[in-house]
């Protein structure tokens, strides 16, 4: 078993003709490289939660997510690495009782199981309406015994304490910090540790509009803006233009992006740069929150449809990660 250690990732500069033309400097903080399979912000969000679970004497973590969820994959990996049993309560019961079949076509699920995660499927309505209610949690406790609960997407106070570690003193010279937004826990931590002269731009990966309250709940400053124009139709929706952008970005820079979060964020950022949103001389730090495991599932979808695929090395068959 390994010990949870605080970590720091490095910034690398992106070289691109558009940035030259607009006299803008863009750096990427490679949080995707924090850990080989507990990706980026999920490592940050789990960090203090796992310490707290240990402190409280728990040996079991229960959490929620969809069948391709980065958070499910990360929790499963963190459990096996740091010595917890894990239970994933999964949205959608169409795969109930057909786990082997699902594993054949879904690398996230295959990985979670290989890490020892126990999977429990619930229908979408229960997932949406019940999963945060005490009565439902009590039923889960009867079924699985005592556990430490991590909410869907991993966001709570301790998660935000973790994401506050993404920025450091060395990032003081940036004018803008950008990140992808799901539940808002990551951007909240970034806002809290940002400098007051910095503007934080969040790019929601979802169409839904509940984010302002959630971010305000955890964030102590208001130097932030949500850019809502680049979710591309909703969560995990993709299109050929996005796939082309991610492939082009990878071939130019060597930096792999995921198609659900970081790809849309950088697509949006480049579009804003093109349209002159930022003055000459602006220095931008984009946070690479990870999520690369999701690309394998995206490529399976694209292949089935006969569309152009992501030209990024497979996460799960790279040999680093057991499938």
Q: Which of 65, 79, 184, 263 binds ligand PLP (CB under 6 A)?
A: 184
Question: Helix, strand or coil for residue 195?
Answer: coil
Instruction: Using the rule CB under 6 A, give the single segment among 21-29, 92-100, 130-138, 284-292 that binds ligand PLP.
Output: 284-292
Contact 300, 102 (CB under 8 A): no
Q: How far is the CB of 296 from ligand PLP (least distance, A)?
A: 14
Q: Which of 107, 185, 256, 263 binds ligand PLP (CB under 6 A)?
A: 185
Closest residue to ligand PLP, judged by C-beta, is: 291
Q: Examine residue 291 and tell whether it contacts ligand PLP (CB under 6 A).
A: yes
Q: Examine residue 43 and tell whether it contacts ligand PLP (CB under 6 A).
A: no
What are the backbone angles phi and psi of residue 147, rounded to the nearest 5°?
Answer: -150, 165
Instruction: Using the rule CB under 6 A, give the single segment among 94-102, 129-137, 181-189, 309-317 that binds ligand PLP.
Output: 181-189
Q: Which of 262, 269, 296, 297 binds ligand PLP (CB under 6 A)?
A: 262
Q: How many residues bind ligand PLP (CB under 6 A)?
A: 21
Cα distance between residue 253 and residue 302, in whole Å? 23
Query: What residues have CB less than 8 Å from 10, skipping those under 6 apart?
Result: 29, 30
Sheet holding 199-204, edge to edge: 11-14, 25-30, 283-288, 176-181, 199-204, 224-226
**Contacts to ligand PLP from residues 79-118, by CB under 6 A:** none
What's the first-to-final CA gap in the chain, in angstroms? 20
Contact 185, 160 (CB under 8 A): yes
Instruction: Using the rule CB under 6 A, give the single segment among 13-21, 59-67, 124-132, 183-191 that binds ligand PLP.
Output: 183-191
Q: Examine residue 310 and tell whether it contacts ligand PLP (CB under 6 A).
A: no
148-150 vs 118-122, strand pairing mode: unpaired
Binding site for ligand PLP (CB under 6 A): 40-42, 70-71, 153, 155, 180-187, 258, 261-262, 289-291
């Amino acid at each position: 078993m390994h010990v949870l250690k605080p970590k720091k990732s490095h910034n690398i500069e992106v070289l691109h003709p558009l940035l030259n033309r607009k006299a803008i400097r863009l750096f990427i903080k490679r949080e995707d490289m924090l850990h080989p399979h507990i990706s980026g912000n999920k490592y940050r969000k789990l960090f203090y939660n796992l310490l707290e679970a240990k402190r409280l004497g728990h040996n079991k973590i229960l959490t929620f997510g969809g069948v391709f969820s980065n958070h499910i994959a990360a929790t499963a990996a963190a459990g096996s690495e740091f010595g917890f049993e894990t239970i994933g309560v999964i949205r959608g019961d169409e795969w109930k009782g057909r786990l082997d079949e699902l594993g054949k076509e879904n690398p996230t699920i295959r990985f979670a199981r290989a890490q020892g995660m126990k999977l429990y499927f619930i229908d979408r309505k229960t997932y949406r309406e019940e999963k945060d209610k005490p009565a439902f949690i009590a039923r889960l406790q009867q079924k699985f015994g005592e556990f430490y609960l991590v909410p869907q997407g991993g966001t709570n106070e301790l998660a935000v304490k973790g994401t506050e570690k993404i920025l450091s003193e060395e990032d003081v010279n940036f004018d803008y910090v950008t990140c992808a937004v799901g539940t808002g826990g990551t951007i909240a931590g970034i806002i809290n540790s940002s400098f007051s002269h910095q503007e934080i731009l969040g790019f929601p990966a979802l169409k839904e509009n509940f984010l302002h309250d959630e971010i305000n709940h955890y964030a102590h400053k208001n130097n932030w803006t949500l850019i809502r124009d680049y979710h591309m139709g909703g969560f995990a929706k993709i299109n050929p233009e996005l796939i082309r952008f991610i492939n082009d970005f990878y071939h130019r820079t060597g930096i792999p992006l995921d198609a659900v979060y970081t790809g849309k964020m950088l697509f949006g950022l480049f579009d804003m740069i093109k349209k002159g949103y930022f003055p000459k001389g602006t220095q931008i730090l984009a946070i690479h929150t990870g999520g690369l495991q999701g690309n394998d599932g995206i490529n399976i979808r694209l292949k089935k449809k006969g569309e152009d695929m992501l030209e990024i090395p497979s996460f799960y068959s790279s040999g680093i990660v057991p499938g």
